[in-house]
Amino acid sequence: MAWTDRVTTTTNQKIMPWVVDTILNSNVLAQRLIRKAKKWNGETQKFPIKYQANSTGQSFAGFDTFSTSAVQTRVNLAFTPRFYQITCSLPLDELAANATEEKVLDLMATELKSSAQDMASDIGTLLYLNGTGNGDKDFNGLGSIVDDGTGVAVYGGLNRNTYTTLQSTITASGGTLTLARMSTLYNAVTSGSQKPTIGICTEAVFNLYESLLQPQERIAKDVSLLKGRNVGLNAGEGLIGGTGFTGLFFKGFPILADEKCDVNALYFLNEDYLDFYALPVPMTEPIKYKSVDVKGNDYSEVLGLGFSWTGFIKALNAASVVSHIFLGGDFITDNPKRHGKLTGITTV
């Protein structure tokens, strides 16, 4: 209904002191990785990997002759940093109008926080792609990390068909998700204590997995935003930051729903071999704040090594200020064989 002038001329409007986000979706993988980012070192980040065993071992007796051959067993995976930015600009007349006693939210701070969250959402999308976007400038994502050489033949400068231990396990589900297929994938990426620490899928696949469980097995637990092995929590235990995601467990590790995940896919990932290596941009300031002004999404805290911004810069030919938020580095695994993926899941 429309109020009469009797009401509008005697009653102030009330604007709630926060913004409710109705656009951004969940971003599980990016939050777990970037909040625990590691420091990038050097112009190239190198990871020595062992790709074959020393073959000179032998049994012997008496004066048997031994091999004197030197066997090459190691080679370097090598990565160069990649960078992403988002622009935050504001006209000075709007800032002037906001700088009054009736200000409810600080326009400059709110716009910066909102843009940082939008950037985090963009990066969450990139972390599922293969890094070839925008002329190979995008961050590497699971599309290149979890691959058997069919989609991305060269990883870290090495050809997966030559260095076959760099191949992940990719298994077509044939359309149907079963516990047996999940167990087969688990066995393929597991060796002794080296096993997956997390499963990632869409909400649709998450619901399919839930339907496979017996009622007594459908125990949902909160899972911390922070990555690591001990991510399941017992009843009554708190979460770091007081928040988390709901997970259903499989063979001791949580399966989580991420709306940015590939459609019809289920990843098994070992986070001991999966990190975001961050390289801060020079002449910028680090970003580390808790946003209480923007509610309704999973981006309340843009934390982690690497996020930085230029500060607001006055434009030369306009009454405005502009700033840029940066994230540098890359999403890297040094052991692709410890990750796997089921594809084509549509039913149970």
Which of 335, 330, 278 lies closest to 307, judged by CA? 278
pLDDT value for 23 = 40
Question: Please, which pLDDT band fits residue 291 given cuts at 50, 70 and 90?
Answer: low
Predicted local distance difference test score (pLDDT) of residue 93: 87
252 phi/psi in degrees, rounded to 5: 90, 0
**Mean pLDDT, residues 274-303:** 68
Confidence at residue 2, expressed as pLDDT on a 0 to 100 scale: 67
Rounded to an integer, the average pLDDT of 283-301 is 60
Report the pLDDT value the prediction gives residue 339, as an integer from 0 to 100: 98
Q: pLDDT value at position 192?
A: 92
The two counts, helices (H) then strands (E), for the chain are: 8, 22
Q: How far is CA 189 from the centre of its chain?
A: 20
pLDDT band at 70 (very low <50, low <70, confident <90, very high): very high
What sections of 49-106 are H helices per DSSP?
92-98
* pLDDT > 90 fraction of the chain, expressed in percent and rounded: 52
Report yes or no: 51 and 74 within 8 Å, Cβ to Cβ: yes
Q: What's residue 219's pLDDT?
A: 56
Residue linked to tokens 């260095």: 163
Paired strand residues for 46: 78
Confidence grade of residue 20 (pLDDT, cut at 50, 70, 90) = very low
Q: What is the total residue count of the chain?
A: 348
Q: pLDDT class for 105, splitting at 50, 70, 90?
A: low
Residue 247 burial (CB < 10 Å; 0-12/13-18/19+)? Answer: buried
What are residue 191's phi and psi, to 5 degrees?
-145, 110
Q: Cα–Cα distance between 78 and 215 in angstroms, integer?
A: 47
Say which amino acid occupies 315: A
What is the model's pLDDT at position 3?
56
Give which of 120, 141, 45, 90 is closest to 307, Cα–Cα: 120
CB atoms within 10 A of CB 70: 8
Average pLDDT on 207-220 reads 75
Q: What are phi and psi of 80, to 5 degrees?
A: -105, 150
**pLDDT grade for 97, boundaries at 50, 70 and 90:** confident
pLDDT score of 162 more than 80: yes
Given a cut of 50, is residue 84 above it in pLDDT?
A: yes
- What number is the average pLDDT over the span 175-201? 95
- Report how far residue 62's alpha carbon sits from residue 56's, in angstroms, rounded to the nearest whole number: 18
pLDDT-derived band of residue 220, with 50, 70 and 90 as boundaries? Answer: low
Is the pLDDT at 215 greater than 50? The verdict is yes
Lowest-confidence segment of 9-18, 147-156, 167-176 by average pLDDT: 9-18
Confidence class for position 186, pLDDT limits 50, 70, 90: very high
Q: Can you read off the two tokens belonging to residue 45? A: 């980040």
pLDDT for 307-320, tens place per residue? 888 888 898 889 99
Average pLDDT, rounded, for the chain: 82
Look up residue 265 and give its amino acid.
A
Question: What is the predicted pLDDT for the residue at 37?
Answer: 85
- Alpha helices (H) in the chain, listed in sequence order: 5-8, 28-34, 92-98, 107-126, 133-136, 142-145, 179-189, 203-212
How many angstroms separate the CA atoms of 90 and 68, rounded? 70
The C-alpha atoms of residue 149 and residue 165 are separated, in whole angstroms, by 11
Contact 331, 278 (CB under 8 A): no
More confident residue, 120 or 181: 181
Query: Given this model, what pLDDT does residue 248 score?
Result: 86
Range scoring the smallest mean pLDDT among 63-67, 151-155, 266-270, 285-289:
285-289
Cα–Cα distance for residue pair 160/149, rounded to 1 Å? 5
Q: Which of helix, strand or coil describes residue 74? A: strand
At 248-266, the pLDDT tens digits run 889 989 999 998 999 999 9
| Residue found by looking up tokens 């231990």 in the block | 165
What three-state secondary structure class fits 329?
Answer: strand
Question: For residue 318, what are the CA distances in angstroms to 87, 111, 234?
Answer: 16, 19, 57
Of the ranges 226-235, 251-260, 339-348, the best mean pLDDT one? 339-348
pLDDT given at position 146: 98
Q: How confident is the model at residue 287 (pLDDT cuts 50, 70, 90)?
A: confident
Out of 7-21, 59-73, 300-314, pick the least confident.
7-21
Residue 66, pLDDT score: 94
Choose among 120, 109, 96: nearest CA to 33.
Answer: 120
Q: In this model, does residue 15 exceed pLDDT 50?
A: no
